[in-house]
Chain A
C-alpha cells in the first residue's frame, strides 16, 4: 500500500520567502509528526497531531513555523520569512493511535534557503 508521501522532495527558496511543505500520511493513521533534521544532526521534534486533539506545538522553534492538518489527513507545515538556519530535511511520520504503534516516515523535503 501507499506509504507516507511528502512534497516537494526538494525546495530551494530565497531568504525571506514563505514555504509550504506537504505530508500525506498513511490512510487511517491518526497520529502525524513533523521532525527536522539539520545536516549531521539528529531528529528534532516540531509538532504532533493526534486525531481531533489540539496539536502539540512544543517543538516549533519560532512563531514563523506553523502547521495544520485538514480533515485529520493531509498536513501542511508552513515556514514564513525563511532564514538560512531553516535549511534542513523536514520529515513527516504517521502511525496508528497508541504509544507502541510503529512509525512510518516519508522521504522528507530537503529545504535549502539561500
Chain B
C-alpha cells in the first residue's frame, strides 16, 4: 500500500506570495496527479507527470522519482487559487493503484 503524505495540511498566505505544496509517497509509481478542489466540491486535474517538471500558467509541478517526492508551486498567488490541492500517485493499473493524499487547504488572502 502506498502511503501518501502532503504538507502542509493548511496554508494561509498573502496575495502574490510563492506557494509550495509537497507530496511524499512510499512506493515506486508510474505517474502522479495533482488535483484542485474548490469549495463546492468540483475537482479539476491540474497535472499528471511521471518525471521532471511541468508548467501551466502560474502553476509548476515537479517530481523526483528517486526521492519519491513531488511539489506543486504557485507563483504570484491570487485569492482565486484558494482551494484544496490533492496529490494522487499511481502505482499501477486499476483503481487500487491510485492513492490520494488528504489534501492541502490553501487560502490566499488579498
Residues of A within 8 A of B (CB): 33, 37, 41-43, 45, 47-48, 50, 56, 58-59, 89, 91, 93, 99-100, 102-108, 110
Contacts and interface: CB of A to CB of B under 8 A. Distances in A.
Interface string B84-98: 001010101111111
Nearest to A90: B41
B6 to A, nearest CB: 9
B69 to A, nearest CB: 19
Contacts of B73: none
A33 to B, nearest CB: 6
B42 A103 contact: no
Interface residues of B, number: 26
* Dominant secondary structure at the A interface: strand
Contacts of A43: 86, 88, 100
Of B86, B90, B100, B101, which is in contact with the most chain A CB atoms at under 10 Å from its CB? B100
Contact of B48 (A47, A89, A102): A102
B102 A41 contact: yes
